[in-house]
């Protein structure tokens, strides 16, 4: 109906014309109506977001897509900001003056937003969020009571302000700029007013199921589940006479017994002020009112709490408010979401305050849907995500024979796709592995008797697709190469092995564990997961064929033990001219360690070698690693150009007496853009007082705006074993480093 009225207004606003011409213009006018409605929606969301950001202490997450910013505050509210716009007519531009009052510009200059002749605050106790609309006459309207009533906007001359188009579309931006850099979200309004709010991932306080307003009868108690993340302290506040408590993430609110004094304060906030260990603050609120007269419940709500997953089951609890019953469904996350009407008609009736769903598929993501009901009134559909556990596999060979999936570095393998496996047993102290994998393909499970292990006694060539893994999860098998393995073509996947480089001693074909000598193609995939690479004093890889690369190199959940040899280049791409063939580089959840501080490089190439290929689509992810006593004087990661580089969640640790600076990466291409970098949430400890942990080396063509990782005053490690690489973090640092 509203769209029809707008269309009528647009038609009447045009010059008088024949019926045929009017008919021919209807399609164009309908497009303008749709554009105007879209602009009104974006405007109202922007106004609400500005009001919320003025009061926000911190932001939990920020994402941008096609000019629309999605901002999740630390109290769980989600905001939407639209920066760019192509619309019709005169879209109001909202700003805030230095004292916090709303101002609006309808095209003839800014003026104050007035309600009953008074200026309107944008935030605080007296804050109001105006809501705009367009009436059937095509004029702007505004509401100051949340959309319950609208009044026509009047210009300075007392005339209505038209929302109808002039000649053609107008292009505009709602804000001067919107940006998110170095953990700070910045919004600059059209008048230059700047709002800055820190973005603190891992810190939030969310009161679930609170709704817009909670109406209590005298003495009534209600409970609300609370999500607390990264909080060091919480402080509760409530209006006089109200009792509140927070126990085991449940907020309890009890209304006062009816008195004149209590009834006089009919609407206010119960608040949780949360403080993080770093001093950030966030506030979550429940708006409450006391009404000792009977009232009709029109908005039953439900919150899903205590989700627990099994291999084939999901259990969860439900907290209801103003609801006498509930129904639920559990569907795979990839399936279409049901409507509230469908759950009302076809959902499972909930019994008590919890439910368990069985018969699910292991290792699969599901969504729980809960509908609160009061009589014939259904509330808003609540949902929560959960993933069933994967069965713990100890005997990988048996699991393979049973047709189960085995995941290695994010890829699932099974008998149906890869075929039957070969079980190899080491029964002597030097069982030859080369004979089984040289110039062959297949899946090989390794097991060993006491004191026995596998050796690679001479040069071995990988020319097909080879998967090597220990049979038993709790008994990783040792492989001792004496000569290098040539990665000529195909793929090599390794899981749960101890790769002991003690016999790689620098002789002919024994200067490194792997190379790509005599390569005939790019190596498709070279993946390590859950491996221990020990006694490393020479390169793991020396890529001596410049014209072929590695499309996917993944090192995940591994320990790499160095032996005090300085400047080891673990994965040395040497003089490669085709670094553009490296599509996926992953170094995640690893521990690289040394007894004493000696410099190391993880991935390296000769920067003096020109590159021949394009485009540059490669990605490098360096996440949640612990680099212990192995700083990098020349950069842990040296590369030419990348589509993206993510350096997040890492711990860089060195002896505080180590007299050297350490650098994370160098990128050499002159066309490399800083937009490709995502550097955040890394911590560093140690090095001599005059030396620093630096993100990008001085020779890098790009550097992040903040190029130094500040040293932690306290040691993030409670303990570290320099023989095994086992470590324990101090509690305040548990969000960093490897997740094992």
Domain boundaries, the chain: 2-198, 204-387, 392-536, 558-740
Evaluated on CA atoms 603, 605, 610, 612, the torsion sign reads negative
Yes or no: say if 23 and 71 are a contact pair by the CB < 8 Å rule.
no
Distance CA 58, CA 200 (A): 7
Yes or no: say if 717 and 727 are a contact pair by the CB < 8 Å rule.
yes
Q: What Cα–Cα distance (Å) separates residue 650 from each residue in 241, 575, 623, 646? A: 48, 29, 6, 11
Average pLDDT, the chain: 87
At 656 the pLDDT is: 96
The DSSP symbol for 450 reads T
Sequence-ordered strand ranges (E) for 294-441: 301-309, 314-321, 325-332, 348-349, 354-357, 365-374, 377-378, 382-387, 406-408, 411-413, 421-426, 431-432
Q: What is the maximal distance between C-alpha atoms in the chain?
A: 99
Higher pLDDT, 51 or 384: 384
Yes or no: say if 600 and 625 are a contact pair by the CB < 8 Å rule.
no
Residue 7 φ then ψ, to 5°: -60, -40
Higher pLDDT, 122 or 698: 698
**CATH level 3 topology of 204-387:** Immunoglobulin-like (2.60.40)
Distance CA 389, CA 363 (A): 5
Burial class (CB within 10 angstroms; exposed 0-12, middle 13-18, buried 19+) of 401: middle
Yes or no: say if 119 and 144 are a contact pair by the CB < 8 Å rule.
no
Yes or no: say if 686 and 651 are a contact pair by the CB < 8 Å rule.
no
Mean pLDDT of 476-493: 97
Higher pLDDT, 194 or 645: 645
Burial class (CB within 10 angstroms; exposed 0-12, middle 13-18, buried 19+) of 376: exposed
Residue 335 φ then ψ, to 5°: -80, 160
What is the spatial order of strands in the sheet that 301-309 belongs to? 301-309, 314-321, 354-357
Yes or no: say if 326 and 373 are a contact pair by the CB < 8 Å rule.
yes
Label residue 265 by pLDDT band (50, 70, 90): very low
Mean pLDDT of 200-214: 88
At 260 the pLDDT is: 42
Task: Please name the residue that has the structure tokens 């602009």.
Answer: 39
Label residue 30 by pLDDT band (50, 70, 90): very low
**Which tokens in the block code for residue 117?**
């002749």
Ranges 11-20, 232-241, 571-580, most confident: 571-580
Instruction: Classify each residue of 117-136 as buried b or exposed e, where b means 16 or more C-beta atoms within 10 Å of its C-beta.
Output: eeebbbbeeeebbbbbbbbe
Label residue 396 by pLDDT band (50, 70, 90): very high
In this predicted structure, the answer to whether residue 464 has a pLDDT above a threshold of 60 is yes
Range name among 144-148, 342-346, 584-588 with the lowest pLDDT average: 144-148
At 224 the pLDDT is: 92
**Which tokens in the block code for residue 634?**
């020349």
At 438 the pLDDT is: 98
What is the spatial order of strands in the sheet that 177-181 belongs to? 177-181, 184-188, 194-198
Distance CA 551, CA 65 (A): 29
At 86 the pLDDT is: 44
Label residue 559 by pLDDT band (50, 70, 90): very high
HSE value, Cβ hemisphere, 13 Å, CA-based, for 567: 3
In this predicted structure, the answer to whether residue 169 has a pLDDT above a threshold of 80 is no
At 399 the pLDDT is: 95
At 2 the pLDDT is: 41
- Taking only the tens place, the pLDDT of each residue in 224-238 is 999 999 998 998 988
In this predicted structure, the answer to whether residue 121 has a pLDDT above a threshold of 90 is no
Residue 326 φ then ψ, to 5°: -155, 155
Distance CA 662, CA 687 (A): 8
Range name among 28-32, 524-528, 532-536, 565-569 with the lowest pLDDT average: 28-32
In this predicted structure, the answer to whether residue 80 has a pLDDT above a threshold of 90 is no
CA proximity to 645, closest of 699, 691, 603, 597? 603
At 598 the pLDDT is: 95
Distance CA 69, CA 83 (A): 8
At 90 the pLDDT is: 59
Yes or no: say if 330 and 314 are a contact pair by the CB < 8 Å rule.
yes
Distance CA 251, CA 350 (A): 23
In this predicted structure, the answer to whether residue 612 has a pLDDT above a threshold of 80 is yes
Mean pLDDT of 416-433: 96
Label residue 289 by pLDDT band (50, 70, 90): confident
At 117 the pLDDT is: 75
Distance CA 503, CA 653 (A): 29
At 383 the pLDDT is: 94
The three-class DSSP label of residue 558 is: coil
Taking the whole predicted model, whether its pTM rises above 0.85 is answered as no
Higher pLDDT, 543 or 94: 543
Share of the chain above pLDDT 70, in %: 89
Instruction: Classify each residue of 230-259 as buried b or exposed e, where b means 16 or more C-beta atoms within 10 Å of its C-beta.
Output: bbeeeeeebbebbebebeeeebebbbbeee
At 165 the pLDDT is: 58
Distance CA 253, CA 207 (A): 12
In this predicted structure, the answer to whether residue 27 has a pLDDT above a threshold of 60 is no
Share of the chain above pLDDT 90, in %: 59
Which helix (H) or strand (E) covers residue 660, if one does?
none
- Taking only the tens place, the pLDDT of each residue in 680-726 is 999 999 999 999 999 999 999 999 999 999 999 999 999 999 999 99
Q: What Cα–Cα distance (Å) separates residue 653 from each residue in 2, 555, 630, 710, 723? A: 63, 20, 8, 12, 16
**Is-cis flag, bond preceding 615, omega within 30?**
yes
CB atoms near residue 348 (< 10 Å): 13
Higher pLDDT, 598 or 22: 598
Q: What Cα–Cα distance (Å) separates residue 739 from each residue in 591, 625, 626? A: 11, 9, 10
Yes or no: say if 305 and 316 are a contact pair by the CB < 8 Å rule.
yes
Label residue 363 by pLDDT band (50, 70, 90): confident
* 499-507, Cβ contacts within 8 angstroms, sequence gap of 24 or more: 499/531, 499/532, 499/533, 499/534, 500/453, 500/534, 500/535, 501/533, 501/534, 501/535, 501/536, 501/537, 501/538, 501/540, 502/534, 502/535, 503/455, 504/537, 504/538, 506/538
Mean pLDDT of 136-155: 78
Angle between helices 2-13 and 19-55 in degrees, nearest 10: 120
In this predicted structure, the answer to whether residue 422 has a pLDDT above a threshold of 50 is yes
At 469 the pLDDT is: 98
Yes or no: say if 249 and 306 are a contact pair by the CB < 8 Å rule.
no
Higher pLDDT, 189 or 371: 371
The three-class DSSP label of residue 537 is: coil
CB atoms near residue 359 (< 10 Å): 6
Label residue 84 by pLDDT band (50, 70, 90): low
Evaluated on CA atoms 647, 653, 654, 659, the torsion sign reads positive
Question: Which residues are paired to 115 by β-bridges?
Answer: 118
């Amino acid at each position: 109906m509203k769209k029809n009225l707008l269309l009528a207004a647009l038609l009447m606003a045009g010059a008088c014309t024949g019926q045929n011409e009017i008919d021919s213009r209807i399609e164009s006018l309908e497009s303008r109506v749709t554009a105007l409605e879209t602009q009104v929606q974006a405007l109202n969301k922007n106004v609400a977001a500005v009001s919320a950001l003025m009061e926000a202490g911190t932001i939990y997450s920020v994402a941008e897509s096609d000019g629309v910013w999605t901002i999740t505050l630390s109290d769980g509210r989600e905001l939407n900001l639209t920066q760019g716009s192509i619309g019709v007519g005169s879209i109001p531009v909202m700003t805030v003056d230095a004292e916090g009052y709303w101002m609006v510009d309808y095209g003839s200059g800014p003026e104050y937003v007035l309600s009953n002749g008074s200026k309107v605050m944008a935030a605080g106790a007296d804050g109001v969020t105006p809501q705009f609309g367009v009436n059937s006459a095509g004029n702007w309207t505004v509401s100051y009571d949340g959309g319950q009533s609208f009044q026509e906007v009047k210009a300075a001359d007392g005339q209505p302000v038209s929302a109808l188009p002039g000649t053609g579309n107008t292009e505009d931006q709602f804000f001067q700029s919107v940006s998110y850099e170095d953990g700070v979200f910045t919004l600059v309004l059209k008048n230059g007013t700047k709002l800055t709010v820190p973005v603190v991932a891992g810190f939030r306080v969310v009161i679930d199921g609170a709704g817009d307003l909670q109406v209590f009868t005298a003495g009534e108690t209600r409970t609300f589940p609370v999500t607390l993340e990264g909080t060091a302290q919480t402080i509760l506040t409530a209006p006089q006479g109200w009792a509140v408590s927070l126990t085991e993430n449940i907020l309890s609110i009890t209304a006062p017994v009816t008195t004149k004094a209590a009834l006089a304060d009919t609407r206010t906030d119960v608040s949780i002020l949360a403080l993080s260990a770093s001093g950030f603050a966030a506030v979550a609120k429940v708006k409450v009112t006391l009404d000792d007269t009977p009232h009709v419940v029109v908005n039953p709500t439900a919150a899903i709490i205590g989700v627990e997953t099994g291999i084939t089951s999901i259990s969860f609890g439900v907290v209801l408010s103003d609801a006498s019953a509930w129904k639920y469904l559990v569907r795979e996350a990839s399936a279409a979401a049901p409507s509230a009407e469908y759950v009302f008609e076809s959902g499972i009736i909930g019994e008590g305050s919890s439910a368990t769903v069985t018969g699910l598929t292991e290792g699969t993501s599901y969504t729980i849907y809960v509908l609160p009901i009061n009589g014939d009134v259904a509330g808003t559909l609540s949902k929560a995500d959960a993933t069933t556990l994967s069965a713990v596999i100890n005997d990988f060979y048996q699991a393979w024979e049973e047709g189960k999936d085995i995941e290695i570095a994010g890829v699932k393998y099974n008998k149906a796709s890869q075929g039957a496996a070969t079980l190899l047993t080491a029964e002597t102290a030097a069982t030859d592995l080369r004979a089984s994998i040289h110039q062959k393909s297949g899946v090989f499970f390794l097991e060993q008797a006491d004191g026995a292990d596998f050796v690679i006694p001479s040069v071995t060539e990988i020319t097909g697709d080879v998967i090597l893994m220990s049979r038993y999860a709790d008994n990783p098998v040792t492989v001792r190469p004496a000569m290098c393995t040539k990665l000529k073509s195909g793929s090599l996947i390794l899981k749960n092995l101890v790769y002991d480089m003690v016999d790689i001693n620098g002789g002919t074909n024994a200067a490194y564990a792997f190379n790509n000598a005599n390569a005939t193609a790019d190596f498709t995939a070279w993946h390590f997961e859950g491996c221990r690479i020990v006694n490393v004093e020479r390169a793991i890889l020396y890529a001596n064929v410049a014209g072929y690369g590695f499309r996917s190199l993944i090192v995940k959940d591994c320990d790499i033990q160095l032996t005090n040899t300085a400047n080891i280049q673990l994965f040395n791409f040497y003089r490669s001219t085709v670094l553009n063939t490296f599509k996926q580089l992953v170094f995640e959840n690893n521990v690289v360690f040394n007894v004493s501080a000696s410099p190391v490089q993880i991935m390296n190439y000769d920067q003096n070698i020109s590159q021949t290929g394009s485009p540059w689509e490669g990605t490098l992810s360096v996440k949640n690693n612990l680099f212990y006593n192995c700083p990098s004087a020349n950069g842990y990661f040296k590369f030419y150009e990348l589509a993206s580089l993510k350096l997040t969640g890492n711990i860089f640790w060195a002896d505080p007496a180590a007299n050297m600076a350490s650098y994370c990466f160098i990128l050499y291409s002159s066309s490399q853009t800083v937009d490709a970098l995502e550097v955040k949430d890394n911590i560093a400890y140690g090095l001599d007082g005059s030396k620093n942990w630096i993100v990008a080396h001085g020779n890098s063509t790009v550097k992040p705006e903040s190029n130094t990782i500040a040293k932690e005053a306290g040691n993030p490690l409670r303990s570290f074993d320099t023989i095994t690489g086992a470590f324990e973090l101090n509690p305040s640092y548990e969000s960093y480093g490897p997740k094992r």
